[in-house]
């Protein structure tokens, strides 16, 4: 049948597209990181500068996603449950960090939080700057993850709890949060993956001081310039693995929770 | 705080609107609720003002700081114009490709029957987890002169890296997952009933797809296209590695922003940034209009 | 959308889909052909350079185009960190003329077979511009920085680009080190100096341009940079001054023709123009010291203790000794920094 032939052709084309775009480059990356065997791989990723960069990336990203989990939920709450003039505009703006090119974010954050800042803050070239940039670019993820769930949430459960004498904190803790947790976790996973890989907004604001403000992606970039491709590939694989592990773990966790929470 | 009040008013009517929990009857309770609501609202809006609105205001302020004329000059500059059109050209190629691929993948994952669906899903999601810098590196390792396909490409006179095709490739990779991700849940919700009915009535696969499936998933697809476009327009890291930065040839608008900034041409950099920001805003508007449509269409 | 009769619509939409896919494929292929064929014509030159001389080339290229040899020649230009650009060319970025920050970046292309091995067998030894390493400070020099020794004083914050991504940074490091030797110190003491200096470094951007950007944005008290950068930025109105230390290194920037195709004759004419009296006068106006004598408008103070990279053994030896990935002196200093400041 025509459809059958088309579907084989279709699958073939899809396969080629996926290979050209994802499989081949990733395979080349893994191969490069493995040249010289596991001993060289280990040596590349355990060099002091690499370790410092990876550690900084993971620690700052973890802090940033923790902040996002809290504030993202609060913002989602306000956008769903509250009413105020201009709410629609604020709601639309949440997606701005996603749509704005990272280099533009970097230029603007430098102007805003560096010397000559109109707000009087000067934290450019410090770890605080890294955190600020990452908070900016990962803003939408938790908010957009939680919003639809919050929207669909049945308020009557909360009201029933209140009428039975539960205080607002109790209602929050025992009724609302458990329903939101899978969504929060999902948003956190996406935030983390994004934060670990972020480059464009950091390249101007962080001073790229090895061991102090050099994040993993910038270290990889530097190693590419230094023509030390095995080192670049090795650290890339570590960063990728970190993001994937967190993504997979949190996705599984949120799916498990949504099955076990009514 | 208000627990005693609500405890004694167990049968009071529901509070109007969707107030924060803990609302009940009684003035003291209402005031407490109101205070809490304002408090939470202030926290949320204050955070957003610091993180979002300040940068936005900054871009516009810095661009127009010295008046309109420098901005108009900057817009008219040939390299700036070329960068703008190059960015659009790259988007015009990568977005349709990703759309077709995304719909195809969604169909495969939701309607197909085979093992390894999880793996396929992972591969599609992979670009989310990879840093743009790493994507650039991977492309150079695969398609660069000394890469895996380097010799074959050179023999056939095809230049990928340091040329527009490489930039299209980089852009397509980073914006790959969106159409698939947005289409899959819609496809799932759509269900196969109508499709099955159509095929029992004698419709071919193509007919079923065009007349039943595609209209049903269209808003998910469109939303995915908008996301893809936004991501593609704003791409910087991966493209910066594979670009070669030839002004007027392989310099996209984001790369142009960086180059101008480094040359102390603040007006040029900020003007290009404003253009990108405006494009981003347009995308935001579309995204938000479509979110409502998507929900409306799939709401049962 | 569904107003046409079903059968026609299916045929049309199937064809539309095929057409769409083909258009995309053709577009991709066309852009591939278009760009790979762009370097052939002799009427167009591609210049790949480090980022610093971009303002100078904005003047040099039109001036060349006004000469008989340059008439009708169009230019494509790419600027970026010297090492990055060099690596790009060796990896396939098309170039007809390259102008880099230091010799090893051209040697890389010689090794890749892109530049002929006799590229520097000429009167200027392959160099197109000279400069010296200077220390850029804030206007008014509030911290009274006059020489290399001031950079290791406690509380002085130094900015210099990352020596592993920026050619400019390597000049800086060797200038500081060589100055110690010139003052009579031993190599060991020179290395101690470098260690102290790196202890005061607060930012190491990926390129000289970025480091300048960082400094101008308010970070640090002293930026090690080239004299011509300092001159250019003062001209642009940046609130800076610069100090030429007594002992400093002569920075020599190479230029070379790439490839042997039809464009290389035109490329050679461009390179000849760049080292001609007319070209050198334009360079001088931009703050670059000339490589030939008798250039009008070139009034540059001569540091008492000027030395070259050859005094220190040449780039090959220096690169191995100081910047080798695991054993280099500077590599080890950077790493030891990490150990002492890691939290």
Residue-wise pLDDT for C263-291, tens only, equals 889 999 999 999 999 999 999 999 999 99
Looking at CA atoms only, how far is residue C309 from chain B in angstroms?
Answer: 28
Residues B100, C20: C-beta atoms closer than 8 Å: yes
Across C64-90, average pLDDT: 89
Residues B210, C13: C-beta atoms closer than 8 Å: yes
- With vertex at residue A206, the alpha carbon angle to CA A208 and CA B231, rounded to the nearest 5 degrees, is 105
Question: How confident is the model at residue C259, as a pLDDT?
Answer: 87
Residues A207, C218: C-beta atoms closer than 8 Å: no
**pLDDT tens-digit map of A20-70:** 999 999 999 999 888 888 888 888 888 888 888 899 999 999 999 999 999
CB neighbourhood size of B57 (10 A): 14
Q: Who among A11, A25, A71 is closest to B47 (CB)?
A: A71
Question: How confident is the model at residue B228, as a pLDDT?
Answer: 92
* Band of pLDDT at residue C23, cut at 50, 70 and 90: low
The encoded tokens of residue A92 equal: 């639309």
Which chain B residue's Cα is nearest to A67? B47
Contact A176, A158 (CB under 8 A): yes
Interface membership of C158 toward A (CB under 8 Å): no
Contact A33, A188 (CB under 8 A): no
Is domain C131-250+303-341 classified as CATH 3.40.50.20? no
CA distance B56 to A139: 14
Superfamily of segment(s) C44-129+252-285: Periplasmic binding protein-like II (3.40.190.10)
Q: Who among A17, A92, A217 is closest to B101 (CB)?
A: A17
Residue ranges of chain B whose pLDDT lies below 70: 1-30, 292-300
**pLDDT tens-digit map of C200-251:** 988 887 777 778 878 887 788 999 998 988 898 888 788 899 999 999 999 9
Which chain B residue's Cα is nearest to A32? B141
**pLDDT tens-digit map of C132-158:** 999 999 999 999 999 999 999 999 999
Contact A100, A197 (CB under 8 A): no
CA C325: distance to chain centroid? 21
Decide if pLDDT at C188 tops 90: yes
Decide if pLDDT at C96 tops 90: yes
CA B39: distance to chain centroid? 32
Across C163-170, average pLDDT: 78
Question: How confident is the model at residue B265, as a pLDDT?
Answer: 82
Residues C92, B145: C-beta atoms closer than 8 Å: yes
Across C177-196, average pLDDT: 93
The encoded tokens of residue B199 equal: 């095929």
Question: How confident is the model at residue A35, as a pLDDT?
Answer: 84
Across A5-9, average pLDDT: 71
Topology of the domain covering B68-298: MetI-like fold (1.10.3720)
Across A6-31, average pLDDT: 88
Q: Which of A50-54, A169-173, A189-193, B81-85 has the lowest mean pLDDT?
A: A169-173
The encoded tokens of residue C175 equal: 């200038």
> What are the residue boundaries of the structural domains of chain C, listed by start?
44-129+252-285, 131-250+303-341
Q: Who among B104, B134, B273 is closest to A104 (CB)?
A: B273
**pLDDT tens-digit map of A121-164:** 666 667 888 898 899 999 999 999 899 888 888 888 888 888 88
**pLDDT tens-digit map of B221-280:** 988 998 899 999 989 999 988 998 888 889 999 999 988 887 778 888 999 999 998 888
Interface membership of C202 toward A (CB under 8 Å): yes
Interface membership of C156 toward B (CB under 8 Å): no
Residue among A17, A25, A57 with most chain B CBs within 10 A, to mutate: A25
Residues C88, B158: C-beta atoms closer than 8 Å: no
Question: How confident is the model at residue C125, as a pLDDT?
Answer: 92
| Nearest in space to C106 (alpha carbons), one of C124, C89, C123 | C89
pLDDT > 90: percent of chain A: 26
Interface membership of C31 toward B (CB under 8 Å): yes
The encoded tokens of residue B79 equal: 């390299």
CA distance C217 to B278: 26
Question: How confident is the model at residue A214, as a pLDDT?
Answer: 82
Question: How confident is the model at residue B6, as a pLDDT?
Answer: 29
- On average, the pLDDT of chain A sits at 84
- On average, the pLDDT of chain C sits at 83
CB neighbourhood size of C25 (10 A): 12
Q: Who among C87, C218, C339 is closest to A116 (CB)?
A: C218
Decide if pLDDT at C6 tops 70: no
- Give chain A's length: 262
Residues from chain C contacting residue A110 (CB–CB below 8 Å): 217
Question: How confident is the model at residue C12, as a pLDDT?
Answer: 42
Residues from chain A contacting residue B1 (CB–CB below 8 Å): 167-168
CA distance B18 to A151: 10
Interface membership of C6 toward B (CB under 8 Å): yes
Looking at CA atoms only, how far is residue C162 from chain A in angstroms?
Answer: 8
Decide if pLDDT at C109 tops 50: yes
| Nearest in space to A94 (alpha carbons), one of B93, B35, B18, B280 | B280
Residues B204, C233: C-beta atoms closer than 8 Å: no
CA distance B175 to A136: 20
Decide if pLDDT at C340 tops 50: no
Question: How confident is the model at residue C26, as a pLDDT?
Answer: 55
Range 50-69 of C in CB contact (< 8 A) with B: 51, 54-55
Question: How confident is the model at residue B29, as a pLDDT?
Answer: 66
Please enumerate in sequence order all residues whose Cβ is within 8 A of that of A173, keeping only pairs 6 or more positions apart, or say none: none
The encoded tokens of residue B138 equal: 């991977």
Question: How confident is the model at residue B119, as a pLDDT?
Answer: 81
> What are the residue boundaries of the structural domains of chain B, listed by start?
25-64, 68-298
User: Which chains share 3+ C-beta pairs under 8 angstroms with A?
Assistant: B, C
CA distance B187 to B215: 11
Residue among C31, C34, C97 with most chain B CBs within 10 A, to mutate: C31
Going along chain A from its start, the domains and CATH numbers come out as 59-260 (1.10.3720.10)
More confident residue, B228 or C84: B228
Most confident of A201-205, B158-162, C19-23: B158-162
Which chain B residue's Cα is nearest to C13? B210
Question: How confident is the model at residue A117, as a pLDDT?
Answer: 67
What ipTM was estimated for this complex? 0.86
Interface membership of C303 toward B (CB under 8 Å): no
Looking at CA atoms only, how far is residue A240 from chain C in angstroms?
Answer: 23
Residues from chain A contacting residue B283 (CB–CB below 8 Å): 95, 99
> How far is residue B144 from each of residues B124, B158, B163, B203, measured CA to CA in Å?
23, 11, 11, 47
Question: How confident is the model at residue A2, as a pLDDT?
Answer: 41
* Band of pLDDT at residue A260, cut at 50, 70 and 90: low
Residues B141, A233: C-beta atoms closer than 8 Å: yes
Q: Who among B21, B135, B205 is closest to A6 (CB)?
A: B205
Q: Who among C2, C38, C92 is closest to B211 (CB)?
A: C2
Contact A2, B206 (CB under 8 A): yes
Residues from chain C contacting residue A125 (CB–CB below 8 Å): 202-203, 214, 219
Question: How confident is the model at residue C38, as a pLDDT?
Answer: 43
- Torsion sign, CA atoms B44, B45, B49, B50: negative
Which chain C residue's Cα is nearest to A125? C203
Across A161-188, average pLDDT: 84
Question: How confident is the model at residue A138, as a pLDDT?
Answer: 94
């Amino acid at each position: 049948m025509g459809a059958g032939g088309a579907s084989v052709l279709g699958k073939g084309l899809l396969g080629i597209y996926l290979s050209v775009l994802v499989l081949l480059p990733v395979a080349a990356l893994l191969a490069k990181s493995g040249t010289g065997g596991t001993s060289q791989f280990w040596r590349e990723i355990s060099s002091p500068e690499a370790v410092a960069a990876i550690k900084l990336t993971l620690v700052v990203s973890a802090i940033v996603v923790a902040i996002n989990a809290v504030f993202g939920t609060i913002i989602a709450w306000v956008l769903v449950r509250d009413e105020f003039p201009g709410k629609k505009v604020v709601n639309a703006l949440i997606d701005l960090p996603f749509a704005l090119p990272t280099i533009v974010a970097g230029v603007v954050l430098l102007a805003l939080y560096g010397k000559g800042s109109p707000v009087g803050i000067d934290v450019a070239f410090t770890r605080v700057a890294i955190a600020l940039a990452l908070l900016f670019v990962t803003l939408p993820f938790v908010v957009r993850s939680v919003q639809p769930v919050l929207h669909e949430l049945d308020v009557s459960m909360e009201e029933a709890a209140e009428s039975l004498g539960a205080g607002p904190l109790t209602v929050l803790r025992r009724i609302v949060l458990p329903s939101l947790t899978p969504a929060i976790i999902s948003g956190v996973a996406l935030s983390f993956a994004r934060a670990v890989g972020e480059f464009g907004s950091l390249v101007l604001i962080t001073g790229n001081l090895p061991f102090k403000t050099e994040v993993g992606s910038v270290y990889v970039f530097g190693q590419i310039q230094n023509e030390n491709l095995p080192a670049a590939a090795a650290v890339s694989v570590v960063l990728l693995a970190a993001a994937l592990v967190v993504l997979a773990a949190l996705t599984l966790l949120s799916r498990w929770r949504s099955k076990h929470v009514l | 705080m208000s627990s005693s009040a609500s405890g004694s008013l167990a049968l009071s009517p529901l509070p109007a609107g969707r107030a924060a929990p803990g609302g009940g009857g009684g003035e003291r309770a209402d005031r407490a609720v109101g205070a809490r609501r304002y408090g939470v609202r202030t926290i949320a809006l204050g955070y957003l003002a610091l993180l979002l609105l300040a940068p936005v205001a900054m871009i516009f302020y810095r661009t127009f700081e010295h008046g309109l004329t420098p901005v108009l000059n900057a817009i008219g500059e040939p390299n700036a114009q070329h960068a703008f059109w190059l960015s659009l050209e790259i988007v015009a190629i990568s977005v349709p490709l990703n759309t077709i691929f995304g719909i195809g993948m969604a169909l495969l994952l939701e309607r197909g029957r085979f093992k390894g669906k999880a793996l396929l899903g992972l591969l599609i999601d992979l670009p989310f987890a990879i840093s743009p810098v790493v994507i650039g590196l991977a492309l150079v390792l695969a398609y660069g002169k000394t890469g895996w396909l380097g010799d074959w490409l050179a023999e056939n006179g095809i230049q990928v890296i340091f040329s527009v095709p490489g930039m299209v490739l980089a852009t397509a990779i980073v914006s790959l997952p969106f159409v698939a991700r947005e289409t899959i849940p819609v496809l799932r919700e759509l269900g196969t009933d109508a499709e099955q009915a159509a095929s029992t009535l004698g419709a071919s696969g193509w007919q079923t797809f065009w007349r039943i499936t595609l209209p049903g998933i269209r808003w998910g697809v469109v939303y995915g296209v908008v996301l893809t476009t936004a991501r593609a327009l704003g791409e910087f890291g991966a493209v910066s590695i594979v670009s070669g930065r030839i002004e007027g040839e392989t310099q996209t608008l984001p790369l142009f922003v960086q180059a101008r900034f480094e040359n102390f041409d603040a007006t040029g950099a900020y003007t290009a940034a404003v253009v990108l920001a405006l494009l981003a805003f347009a995308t935001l508007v579309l995204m938000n209009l479509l979110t409502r449509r998507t929900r409306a269409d799939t709401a049962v | 959308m569904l107003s046409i009769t079903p059968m026609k619509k299916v045929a049309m939409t199937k064809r539309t889909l095929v057409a769409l896919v083909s258009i995309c494929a053709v577009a991709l292929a066309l852009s591939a052909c278009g760009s790979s064929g762009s370097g052939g014509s002799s009427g167009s030159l591609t210049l790949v350079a480090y980022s610093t001389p971009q303002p100078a080339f904005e003047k040099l290229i039109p001036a060349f185009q006004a000469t008989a040899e340059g008439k009708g020649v169009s230019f494509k230009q790419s600027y970026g960190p010297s090492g990055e650009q060099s690596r790009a060319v060796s990896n396939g970025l098309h170039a007809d003329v390259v102008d880099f920050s230091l010799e090893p970046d051209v040697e890389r292309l010689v090794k890749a077979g892109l530049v002929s091995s006799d590229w520097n067998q000429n009167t200027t030894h392959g160099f197109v511009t000279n400069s010296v390493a200077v220390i850029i400070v804030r206007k008014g020099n509030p911290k009274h920085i006059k020489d290399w020794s001031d950079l290791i004083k406690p509380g002085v914050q130094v900015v210099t680009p990352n020596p592993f991504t920026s050619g400019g940074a390597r000049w800086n490091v060797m200038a500081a080190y060589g100055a110690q030797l010139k003052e009579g110190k031993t190599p060991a003491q020179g290395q101690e100096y470098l260690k102290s200096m790196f202890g005061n470094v607060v930012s190491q951007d990926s390129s000289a341009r970025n480091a300048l950007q960082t400094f101008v944005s308010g970070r640090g008290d002293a930026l090690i940079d080239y004299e011509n950068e300092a001159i250019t930025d003062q001209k642009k109105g940046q609130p800076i001054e610069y100090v030429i230390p007594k002992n400093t290194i002569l920075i020599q920037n190479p230029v070379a023709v790439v490839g042997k195709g039809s464009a290389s004759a035109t490329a050679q004419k461009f390179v000849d123009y760049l080292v001609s009296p007319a070209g050198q006068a334009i360079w001088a106006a931009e703050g670059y010291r000339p490589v030939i004598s008798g250039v009008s408008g070139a009034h540059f103070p001569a540091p008492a203790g000027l030395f070259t990279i050859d005094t220190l053994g040449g780039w090959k030896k220096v690169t191995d000794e100081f910047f080798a990935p695991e054993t280099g002196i500077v590599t080890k200093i950077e790493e030891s920094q990490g150990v002492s400041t890691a939290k």
